[in-house]
Amino acid sequence: MKEQLENKSTPLFPISTAAELLGISVHTLRMYEKEGLIVPFKKDSNQRRYSRADLERIQCVRRAINEDKISIEGIKRMLALIPCWSIMKCSDKEREACPAYINMEKPCWAYNLEDNVCAKMNCSECEVYNSFVECNSIKDYMKQNWGK
Amino acid sequence: MKEQLENKSTPLFPISTAAELLGISVHTLRMYEKEGLIVPFKKDSNQRRYSRADLERIQCVRRAINEDKISIEGIKRMLALIPCWSIMKCSDKEREACPAYINMEKPCWAYNLEDNVCAKMNCSECEVYNSFVECNSIKDYMKQNWGK
DNA sequence: GAAAGTTGATATTTATAAATACCAAGTATT
DNA sequence: AATACTTGGTATTTATAAATATCAACTTTC
């Protein structure tokens, strides 16, 4: 029994239910995923299951695109600024070998990292991914860390 | 004699020359400025003069828009992440009153700040503005500050 | 085991951001 | 004082990102 209690990250809804709840099409959801904006849980059969946190995150993405007029590429670049290397306490050696540290086109969870901490874990359960659900969270994070 | 030597931030070119050097229209330049992406020097007569650093910055903006497909709104949000409050050593009181600290839609230099350090100075000569000419500089800055 | 829902992929539509063109009034240059 | 350039504004064009539609093969559900 790894996870008994239901929480915000519990995989619940199949794609059609998620789409309905959000008022968007199933294809749009898959497109966001392909772009690396979201990482829904996948069952063994490869079917997606969306959590409440996923829905919240998708609403943020949606607002960013449709109201704030930030392009998907722009959102990806912003998410690429999350200091995952610091949160995951990567060694200098790991950093120098990690495309998520080196590059800046997309968030760490949009890579398929095979030779560091991230290889062992599922991004949909990772602290990095789950600490930045809300859109404002990146600037808030910077404010905290550059307090003085 | 405040500034005798010519450097990267020396105001040199009128708008038409800048446009020609960059291969874009005069109006596009004004548009970038209106959006708050650039702050060229202005003469007393209100005419713009572009420095070499301005040209470099505009090339970065251009690449971001046309090659990387980041929208102008997206660029603004990225630049809004620059921790100006830390660079300028703003007090807690100043921070709490500053829209550039509170909000996240646009870079600090796109505001007309009247009641803090920024009121006294010209953004085109400010350290914050001049430390982030290159597009990669924000992530680089984060890497430096979250080294360990 | 039949019906409903899912998978990924490509092709098409639509909404709009980015750039351009045009304007009259003001400034610079000779 | 005449010519060339700049100012800020709106109105228009164009390039394309975001979303939709359609597809055959595969999975879930009852």
B contacts of A74 (beta carbons < 8 Å): 70-71, 73-75, 77-78
pLDDT in tens, B131-140: 999 878 999 9
Helix-strand-coil percent breakdown of chain B, rounded to 5? 55, 5, 45
pLDDT for res B83: 96
pLDDT for res A120: 85
Assign A148 a pLDDT band (cuts: 50, 70, 90).
low
Which among B81, B139, B143 is the nearest to A139, CB-wise? Answer: B81
Assign A8 a pLDDT band (cuts: 50, 70, 90).
confident
Considering only alpha carbons, which residue of chain B is nearest residue A79? Answer: B78
Is the pLDDT at A112 greater than 90? The verdict is no
Is the pLDDT at A5 greater than 80? The verdict is no
pLDDT for res A121: 86
Is the pLDDT at A45 greater than 90? The verdict is no
Considering only alpha carbons, which residue of chain A is nearest residue B78? Answer: A78
B contacts of A86 (beta carbons < 8 Å): 146, 148
Whether A46 sits with its Cβ under 7 A from any strand C atom: the answer reads yes
Q: Taking chain A, what is the end-to-end CA distance rounded to the nearest angstrom?
A: 44
pLDDT for res B116: 84
Is the pLDDT at B23 greater than 60? The verdict is yes
* Cβ neighbours of residue B1 closer than 8 Å, sequence gap 6 or more: none
A contacts of B142 (beta carbons < 8 Å): 81, 83
Please name which of B70, B59, B53 lies closest in space to residue B24, comparing C-alpha atoms.
B59
Tell me the three state secondary structure of residue B123.
Answer: helix
Assign B68 a pLDDT band (cuts: 50, 70, 90).
very high
Q: Any idea which architecture A2-146 has in CATH? A: Orthogonal Bundle (1.10)
Is the pLDDT at A26 greater than 80? The verdict is yes
- In this prediction, what percent of chain A has a pLDDT beyond 70? 96
pLDDT for res B1: 44
pLDDT for res B75: 96
Whether B17 sits with its Cβ under 7 A from any strand C atom: the answer reads no
Question: Nucleic chain D: which protein residues 44-83 of B have CB below 7 A from it?
Answer: 46-48, 66, 69, 71
pLDDT for res A4: 60
Q: In this structure, what DSSP letter does residue A99 have?
A: H
Domain boundaries, given as residue ranges, for chain A: 2-146
Strands A48-49 and B41-42: unpaired
pLDDT for res A1: 44
pLDDT for res B60: 95
Assign B148 a pLDDT band (cuts: 50, 70, 90).
low
pLDDT for res A110: 94
Is the pLDDT at A31 greater than 70? The verdict is yes
Look at A7-11, A106-110, B13-17, B24-28 and tell me which has the smallest mean pLDDT: A7-11
By the 8 A CB rule, do A8 and A57 touch?
no
Strands B48-49 and B41-42: antiparallel
Could you give the CA distance from residue A89 to residue B144 in angstroms, rounded to a whole number? 14
- In this prediction, what percent of chain A has a pLDDT beyond 90? 74
Q: Which residues on adjacent β-strands are paired with residue B13? A: B50
Inspect the interface and report whether the beta carbons of B80 and A146 lie closer than 8 Å.
no
Which residues of B make CB contacts under 8 Å with A?
68-71, 73-75, 77-78, 80-81, 83, 85-86, 101, 104-105, 136, 138-139, 142-143, 145-146, 148
